[in-house]
Amino acid sequence: MNLRPRSFGAKLLVLFIFVVATGQFATWLLVSLHHQRQARRLIEEQLRQADQAFARIIDYRNALLSAGTSTAARNHEIRELFVSDDAPTLASTLESVRLANRSHVVAGLALDARLLAASPPLNRAGDTFVQLVQRAEADPGERPTATGYGFLDGQLHSLVVGPVLAPDIIAWLAIGFRIDQEFVRALQELTGIDVSFFSPAGQPLATTLPPAKAQALAAALPRLPPAAEGLELRLADDTALVSTRRLPTGRGEHATLVLQFSLDEKLASARETELLLLEVAFASLLAATLLSRIFARRLTRPIHELVGQTQRIAQGDYTVRPAAYRLDELGHLSRSFDDMARGLALRDRLRDLLDKNVSPEVAAQLIRDGDALGGEEREVTILFADLRGFTTLSERLPAPELLTLLNRYLDRMSGAIEAQGGVIDKFIGDAIMALFGAPVPQGDAADRAVAAARAMEQALAALNAELAAEGRAPLALGIGINTARVVAGRIGSQRRRNYSVIGDGVNVAARLQALTRTPEYQTNIIVSAATVAAARAPLAPRALGRVPVKGRAEPVEIFAIAA
């Protein structure tokens, strides 16, 4: 099924709608893309700031804890407790240190990182302290310390380990705070970013996300790179940008910090603006459709009028209807079209006038070539036809009746000649001179001339039947045909000219027509041997011998042609 519009108005309407729709959609798309780029840029900046805030908080708290370990390690009572075997008293003293530093855990460690006491008591610390003590021992400073992350009783902590000196290192003191739900909420309030911590196994430790999103984030965690920045991720029914940071916890394991901000939430206000743009676009499209329909009708109305006038001109009606022309290009087109119609009407009048005074072929060539029908030598076939007994007839009939009868006769004969492509050169009273092969060349001019002669006899027989029915005497004619090379062109004065041919061949044709009056020949059509030779089809001629022709030294061989 072809859905393409066919009318110009429909195409114009579709074009208007397409342009407006494309413009509005492009505007909406550009605004939407700009909003998305802006939202991503702002979220990525917030994620970077949140990551920096987390690092600064950890550094700040570690600095406080490091100062706390240093202060506690200088306490003489604490040093004495480390060298004693009084673990309960050491644990009670460490509780005082924990409260003084507002930390979540304080632990006393032997030189080999073995746990001596802790506040609160620890059931499971793994090798967290071993890793930190080894790092502290590698510190070349006067007071070697180490900071890091570790799991104590299954909870993630940020820890600082410092030495207890007397004056050499006699033990280690570890102090730290939990990274828990309270911590992530505080970080979210500070940065406006959702914060999540995951265990090495990918289980949520602390998060500000709803359970469904937290589970979706945990499921996607294995696919995330170790240090992602602004990575787009689909969480449940939300699209978010996330950044990740790995927190080493010992033995090649690590916890994962994930910072996340909802892209959909960031774009919520922008989506309202885009929806408003879509509403404006729809309204604009509707208005454009209505206006374009009105414009298309106004534009196509004169075109439809021109189409109607074209159809009238094709039917031969060149009437120019009075109308006020528009001032635009369509008005100029209408004016030019009307001028063309007037020119066509004038041309047809001239052509009709020419057709009535010269042959249609000559008229067509005159219209096409103007006054360029110069003289040229060419082979043509000339036909002369004469109405016999016309002098006697003119004496019996009144002039009006005679002229009417003559015109009836000439009309029938002209029709027979023109039907075969012959050109009426001139009417000489009741005689007719016709040309075949000029001004338009014809390869079978002789055949056409003979066929025309036979058709003329048949037309005369039909006319005589009509005259008999009217009580009038029959008419008779004689036809002479000759083929010869003649000079063809426009002959006459500067003011009046006529296309014709001149030469001996013309005189021979006229003489042959006169010979048809010879009773012993018993024929109405006589042709020359040149015509018989030029004919392509057999003519079944009857030889009449060679006869002298006035004006020629040599006799001409002639033939009779049966009707």
pLDDT in tens, 264-281: 887 777 777 777 877 777
Position 177 confidence tier, pLDDT thresholds 50, 70, 90: very high
User: Among 421, 456, 424, which residue's Cα sits nearest to residue 442?
Assistant: 421
pLDDT of residue 245 exceeding 80: yes
Find the mean pLDDT for residues 535-554.
86
Position 20 confidence tier, pLDDT thresholds 50, 70, 90: confident
What percent of the chain stands above pLDDT 90?
29
Which residues have a Cβ under 8 Å from the Cβ of 181 and sit 6 or more positions away?
A: 206, 207
Cα four-point dihedral sign 487, 489, 492, 494: negative
pLDDT at residue 343 in the model: 64
What percent of the chain stands above pLDDT 70?
82
The CB density around residue 248, as the number of other CB atoms within 10 Å, is: 13
pLDDT of residue 421 exceeding 50: yes
By the 10 Å C-beta count (0-12 exposed, 13-18 middle, 19+ buried), 278 is classed as: middle
CA distance 136 to 159: 12
Find the mean pLDDT for residues 436-454.
91
pLDDT of residue 357 exceeding 50: no
CA distance 376 to 141: 126
pLDDT at residue 368 in the model: 58
User: 29-266: which CATH topology?
Assistant: Beta-Lactamase (3.30.450)
Range with the poorest average pLDDT among 272-281, 284-293, 305-314, 318-327:
318-327
For the chain, where do the domains classified as CATH 3.30.70.1230 start and end?
A: 371-560
pLDDT of residue 382 exceeding 70: yes
Phi and psi for 429 in degrees, rounded to 5?
65, -115
User: To the nearest whole number, what is the mean pLDDT of the chain?
Assistant: 82
pLDDT of residue 299 exceeding 80: no
User: Among 323, 326, 328, which residue's Cα sits nearest to residue 308?
Assistant: 323
pLDDT of residue 171 exceeding 80: yes
Find the mean pLDDT for residues 366-375.
54
pLDDT at residue 353 in the model: 47
pLDDT of residue 477 exceeding 90: yes
Q: Which DSSP category does 459 fall into?
A: H
What is 371-560's CATH number?
3.30.70.1230
For the chain, where do the domains classified as CATH 3.30.450.20 start and end?
A: 29-266
The CB density around residue 181, as the number of other CB atoms within 10 Å, is: 13
β-strands 476-492, 525-528: how paired? parallel
CA distance 107 to 65: 12
pLDDT of residue 494 exceeding 80: no
